[in-house]
Amino acid sequence: MTLNTFKLPDVGEGLTEAEIVRWQVQPGATVAVNEVIVEIETAKSLVELPSPYAGVVAELLVQEGETVAVGTPIISVTDGTVDAIDSPPAANHVPGELVTPPRQEAPSSSAGANAPLVGTGPRADSSRRRPRTDRPGRQTTTTAPAAASAPPAQVPGDGNTAPSPVVTKRALAKPPVRKAARDLGIDLADVPATGGSGEVTKQDLLSYQAQRDAEQDSAPSFWGAASRPQDERIERIPVKGVRKATARAMVESAFTAPHVSIFVDVDASRTMEFVKRLKSSRDFEGIKVSPLLILAKAVIWAAARNPSVNATWTDQEILVKHYMNLGIAAATPRGLMVPNIKDAQDLSLKELAVALNELATTARAGKTRPAQMQDGTLTITNIGALGIDTGTPIINPGEVAIVAFGTIKQKPWVLDGEVIPRWITTLGGSFDHRVVDGDLSARFMADVASILEEPALLLD
C-alpha cells in the first residue's frame, strides 16, 4: 500500500498561498481521480481542487480556515482500499438510522503475527458527506449491550472493551419539507415532530421558524452594550484572500497611476426604450437584458474609436491592445472581484448579453476562475445598481481607464426648448493621465454617451 501526498498547487499565475475553505472529504473516504476534494480561496477566486490520486483518504494535513503556501502538503491518500471495521450489530438498531462505527486502535506487536489487521474504512453512511456537529436538542441514542452470544468487540492486544457505537436518528420528513428546511437553514433533527408516524410536518417547521425568529428579535442588537468588556465591543476580521488582494491592488493603483476623472450627464431615454424592445424580442427570450448591456457595447464601440484608452503603461512603453477583455466590477459576498469577458469586441449584442449574465451568476456564486480575472483591458463598474448617481472609481491595475455607470432615473430635461421628464444617468470615468490626456478622455466619454443617447449608432 502506497501513501501519496497531495501538495497545494499553483492554480493561478503567480499564486503564492491559499486558504483551505472547506474539505469535501474526510479521513476514510474513498476518492477517485479528478473527484473534488477541497475548496480553496486564493487571492483571486474560490477554486475547487480535484484529487490526482484514487484511493482512501488517510489524513487531512491542513485544517479548514488555515492559509498555507503553495507546495505545502494538504492531504494524504493511500492507493488501495481499506477494509471496514467489523463490529457487532446494534441490538436496538432501527432501519433508516445511521450507525457510526467506533475507531479501533492498531494491533500491538504482542498480539502475534496472526492477529487480524484492523483498518479504518469508509463510513457506512457516505464517504463524501461532512460530519455534522451535534447541537443541543439533537436526538442521539446509545446502543444497548450486545446479546450474550455476541461478545463485545475487543481491541487486538488489549483487554479493554471497545466503546459502543453511537446511533444518530435521521429525522423523518417529506421531500417538500426537507427542501424548505434546507432553504431556511434549519436542521430537521432540531425540530419537534408531531406527525402521525413521527415525521416533521410543514406546520412543525413553520412553528420552529417562528420561534427562532422571535429569539433572534429579542437577541442583543449589533451595537454592543456599554457594560460589555472592552475586547467584546470590537469585531476583528482577518484580512486575507480576495479582500487582501483587492486592498493591495487598489493602493498600488491609487498611488502609482495619476488618476483624472470626468463626468457627463446622459439622456438615456432611447436606451431604456431599446432595452424594453429587446426584452420583448423572441431572439432575447430567456436572456436577462439591462441598460448595462448597452453601456458595455458602447464602451467597446468607443474604445475602437479611441484605442489608447484600451492600453497598459509599463514605464518603458505603452501597450495598446487591439482586443477588448471587458472587465465588470462585481460585488460578491467574498469582496470585490473584476472578472472579464474575453475578446468582447467579437461578440454580437445577444452573445454579449449571455456573457454578462454568465459572468454575474458565476461571480455571485463565488465560482469565478482565476483565468477569468486575468488580462483585463478596460473595466465597467455599475454603481447605479445600488442607487448611486456617480463616483470616482479607481482604475483596475494594469489598465488605464474605468467607467462608472450611475443610476438611471427620471429628471426634468430641456429638449427642443421644453422641460420634460427624461431618463437621465451620469457617467463617471477615471483615467491614467500618463496615457490618457484630457482631450482623449473627453472624446471617449462623449462617444460612450452618444450610444446611450442613440443606440441606433451601433448599426453604423
How open is the CA angle 264-270-274, to the nearest 5 degrees? 125
Query: Alpha-carbon distance 283 to 278, whole Å?
Result: 8
Q: Report how far Cα 405 is from the mean position of its chain's Cα atoms.
A: 25
Phi, psi of 265 (to 5 degrees): -85, 140
Q: Taking a C-beta distance cutoff of 8 angstroms, is the pair 441, 428 a contact?
A: no
Q: Report how far Cα 443 is from the mean position of its chain's Cα atoms.
A: 38
Question: Under 8 Å CB-to-CB from 99, ≥6 apart: which residues?
Answer: 90, 93, 124, 125, 165, 166, 167
Residue type, 280: S
Q: What is the DSSP letter of 161?
A: B
Q: Taking a C-beta distance cutoff of 8 angstroms, is the pair 201, 177 a contact?
A: yes
Which secondary-structure segment (H or E) carries 99?
Answer: strand 98-100
Q: Per this entry, what is the length of the chain?
A: 460
Residue type, 308: S
Q: Taking a C-beta distance cutoff of 8 angstroms, is the pair 7, 62 a contact?
A: no
C-alpha separations of 333 from 66, 242, 363 in Å: 19, 10, 9
Q: In this structure, how many other beta carbons lie within 10 angstroms of the beta carbon of residue 408?
A: 20
How open is the CA angle 277-283-285, to the nearest 5 degrees? 80
Cα radius of gyration (the chain): 30
Query: Alpha-carbon distance 343 to 37, whole Å?
Result: 33
Question: Under 8 Å CB-to-CB from 305, ≥6 apart: which residues?
Answer: 443, 444, 447
Strand partners, 34: none
List the one residue out of 308, 436, 312 whose CA is nearest residue 377: 312
List the one residue out of 301, 288, 408 whose CA is nearest residue 356: 288
Q: Is 433 assigned a catalytic role?
A: yes
The cell numbers describing 132, all together, are: 455534522
Residue type, 171: A
Query: Alpha-carbon distance 424 to 410, whole Å?
Result: 6
The single residue of 93, 259, 322, 433 carrying the catalytic annotation is 433
Residues acting as catalytic residues? 433
